[in-house]
A = this chain, B = another copy of it.
């Protein structure tokens, strides 16, 4: 028999659906389109999908994430609770739908981000690439029709345009539909937006010369976890708005593998495309256009940088072949797609300029990011690392580039860590621990008065490095001190309390458990072993590295000293490290305002070789060796023991 399941969404509406006994609550939530954060994909490991039982019964039990106290208060993991023979009402805490509500329209006047952005721009165009695209605005003044001159609007315009441009122009339906009004608004004087595409000239838009009209574009970085975008006036390159939001696909799993699996279920591809387009990117575009007071139809070019899976899901293309041997994407480069192909509400014919993929797990975010990293002009051997949900590496210089990806997992973005979170308000982004008292000092995103909610990537690196420095953990990541901040649960698992319940914003303790530490150490180990394997495959020693460029949105940056201390990054001169923020978005921005930058990214994509790490002999050994703090071979990190 079916039962009624009510999801009472904190700060939102109730959602009702029916379900069969035995159905997993998380699956029921998905069916009902209720967003519950489940970065681990629902396998019980992350502990994020907490819901609170208000009425009825669920078949569920205590887990390492749900203590007796939690359980008594009604807390359950949605992924480990099943419908039984009763109607049920559960509370879905706001924090679980945080990814959806926390869209951020950035204040352009302030932020280091914009500074990093501008300096990247200066470098790219300083290196000789010209700005400018195939879009041109052509003003035309027509003779108004009369009884003796009854030529149609389109013939009249086409004739004048052909004369001005020396070639016939193909009208888009959108431009044609705006033509009669535009012509009659200011006595048949109009501006025409024309784009050369595959050898023909396309009329994208037309507006009266009497109207103020900014021709715009949008650059989008589609991260597995976070989507960021900038709205740009194409003529000047000026950034008119900037926004970011959690990727709505989060509810279908934190990493690309879980997303691909979900996409191959019946109706899954449509669902995942809808989550990223209709629920994530379209609202971002709407809000940016509102902030900049522009109609969305003025957006007539979009550049997209995402990893191979994100690019496929954005375009609504079945990603299954990416994860099935022989691991072949459906596309690397694809040109000619337009906004309406994916259902974005901007100028329907706005071209989608997609940064090309290199392989199944190195995609457009890396080709666009490589442009921003300037590795393509480097004389020194350069290591470019993008720390996202996947870790991706590029090594090389102006002469060659090799790339690989390692599944670091979502730890750097807060997944797989019980108190982990993305670098939004309430995230602990930096930690120091007093060696004597073992008391932590925290820096929190959101500033003055903001209480902590969890740890983001940079905060995690700090916390683990400091716990190691202060002797709280041993090289295996096991907690080996007794202290008021160290707890042991009934299963014998220890944890270190970063913030007590009364210090946190949620009223729940923020603590790192040994499982968290284990997950984190595997993540950092994946990064380091990837670096080491790639260098060894190229037969280069670590000393050859002349520069390391770190990108990614793991916080306000990364404490390099700490990242070296825990054995995540090579122990070389810290002066060689630079942090360039969201390189994928910077690269997409450059592509937006410059066809030469787009051409360069295409070249980078074609020239970059791809190394499939998972099938590389020796990688697993390297990985296992790197799953210690700092490493089984401590001599690789001479400075790790320094204070």
Contact (Cβ within 8 A) B145 A326: yes
Q: Which chain B positions have C-beta within 8 A of A179?
A: 317, 330
A155 near B: Cβ within 8 Å?
Answer: yes
- Please, how many residues of chain A have a CB less than 8 angstroms from a CB on the other chain? 50
Query: Which B residue's beta carbon lies closest to that of A615?
Result: B147
A318 near B: Cβ within 8 Å?
Answer: yes
Q: Which chain B positions have C-beta within 8 A of A331?
A: 152-155, 176
Residue in B329, B338, B615 whose CB lies within 8 Å of A153 = B329
Q: Which chain B positions have C-beta within 8 A of A342?
A: 173
* Chain A 165-181 interface 0/1 with B at a Cβ cutoff of 8 Å (1 = within): 00000111100110111
Contact (Cβ within 8 A) A198 B170: yes
Residue in B153, B172, B184, B328 whose CB lies within 8 Å of A151 = B328
A418 near B: Cβ within 8 Å?
Answer: no
Contact (Cβ within 8 A) A147 B180: no
Query: Which B residue's beta carbon lies closest to that of A151?
Result: B328
Contact (Cβ within 8 A) B330 A152: yes
Known: A170-B198, A200-B198. A176 touches B315 (CB 8 A): yes
Known: A180-B320, A317-B177, A341-B173. A152 touches B336 (CB 8 A): no
Contact (Cβ within 8 A) A147 B326: yes
Contact (Cβ within 8 A) A146 B326: yes
A449 near B: Cβ within 8 Å?
Answer: no
Residue in B150, B321, B334, B338 whose CB lies within 8 Å of A326 = B150
Residue in B177, B337, B357 whose CB lies within 8 Å of A173 = B337
Q: Which of A93-135 contact B (CB under 8 A)?
A: none
Report A91 CB to chain B, min CB distance, Å. Answer: 38
Contact (Cβ within 8 A) B147 A336: no
Query: Which B residue's beta carbon lies closest to that of A181?
Result: B318
Report A617 CB to chain B, min CB distance, Å. Answer: 14
Q: Which chain B positions have C-beta within 8 A of A335?
A: 170
Contact (Cβ within 8 A) A318 B200: no
Report A340 CB to chain B, min CB distance, Å. Answer: 7
A325 near B: Cβ within 8 Å?
Answer: yes
A199 near B: Cβ within 8 Å?
Answer: yes
A457 near B: Cβ within 8 Å?
Answer: no
A396 near B: Cβ within 8 Å?
Answer: no
Q: Which of A340-363 contact B (CB under 8 A)?
A: 340-342, 357, 359-360
Report A372 CB to chain B, min CB distance, Å. Answer: 24
Contact (Cβ within 8 A) A152 B337: no
A431 near B: Cβ within 8 Å?
Answer: no
Q: How far is the CA of A177 from the CA of B181 in the complex (A)?
A: 36
A332 near B: Cβ within 8 Å?
Answer: yes
Known: A180-B321, A200-B198, A200-B199. A173 touches B332 (CB 8 A): no
Contact (Cβ within 8 A) A154 B330: yes
Q: How far is the CA of A262 from the CA of B181 in the complex (A)?
A: 17
Number of copies: 2
Residue in B152, B200, B340, B341 whose CB lies within 8 Å of A329 = B152
A553 near B: Cβ within 8 Å?
Answer: no
A327 near B: Cβ within 8 Å?
Answer: yes
Report A286 CB to chain B, min CB distance, Å. Answer: 21
Q: How far is the CA of A317 from the CA of B315 in the complex (A)?
A: 29
Report A145 CB to chain B, min CB distance, Å. Answer: 4
Q: How far is the CA of A325 from the CA of B199 in the complex (A)?
A: 38
Q: How far is the CA of A199 from the CA of B197 in the complex (A)?
A: 11
A587 near B: Cβ within 8 Å?
Answer: no
A246 near B: Cβ within 8 Å?
Answer: no
Q: How far is the CA of A176 from the CA of B312 in the complex (A)?
A: 11
Query: Which B residue's beta carbon lies closest to that of A334?
Result: B154
Contact (Cβ within 8 A) B315 A153: no
Q: How far is the CA of A151 from the CA of B330 in the complex (A)?
A: 9
Q: How far is the CA of A328 from the CA of B338 in the complex (A)?
A: 32
Q: How far is the CA of A335 from the CA of B169 in the complex (A)?
A: 11
Residue in B146, B176, B200, B336 whose CB lies within 8 Å of A330 = B176
A42 near B: Cβ within 8 Å?
Answer: no
Q: Which chain B positions have C-beta within 8 A of A332?
A: 152, 154-155
Q: How far is the CA of A185 from the CA of B329 in the complex (A)?
A: 17
A420 near B: Cβ within 8 Å?
Answer: no
* Chain A 182-222 interface 0/1 with B at a Cβ cutoff of 8 Å (1 = within): 00100000000000001110000000000000000000000
Q: Which chain B positions have C-beta within 8 A of A317?
A: 176-177, 179-180
A306 near B: Cβ within 8 Å?
Answer: no
Query: Which B residue's beta carbon lies closest to that of A146?
Result: B326
Contact (Cβ within 8 A) A176 B325: no
Known: A200-B199, A317-B177. A336 touches B171 (CB 8 A): yes
Query: Which B residue's beta carbon lies closest to that of A337?
Result: B173
Contact (Cβ within 8 A) A328 B177: no
Q: How far is the CA of A334 from the CA of B146 in the complex (A)?
A: 21
Q: How far is the CA of A544 from the CA of B190 in the complex (A)?
A: 49
Contact (Cβ within 8 A) B320 A152: no
Q: Which chain B positions have C-beta within 8 A of A327?
A: 147, 150
Report A639 CB to chain B, min CB distance, Å. Answer: 39
What are some 27 contacts across the A-B interface (CB < 8 A)?
Answer: A145-B328, A147-B325, A147-B326, A147-B327, A149-B326, A150-B326, A150-B327, A150-B328, A152-B329, A152-B330, A152-B357, A153-B321, A153-B328, A153-B329, A155-B331, A155-B332, A155-B333, A170-B198, A170-B335, A173-B315, A176-B330, A177-B316, A180-B317, A180-B318, A180-B321, A184-B321, A199-B199
6 nearest CB pairs, A to B: A173-B341, A198-B200, A154-B331, A145-B328, A152-B332, A153-B330
Contacts beyond the supplied A149-B326, A155-B332: 7 A-B pairs with Cβ under 8 Å = A150-B328, A152-B331, A170-B336, A171-B334, A177-B317, A180-B317, A340-B340
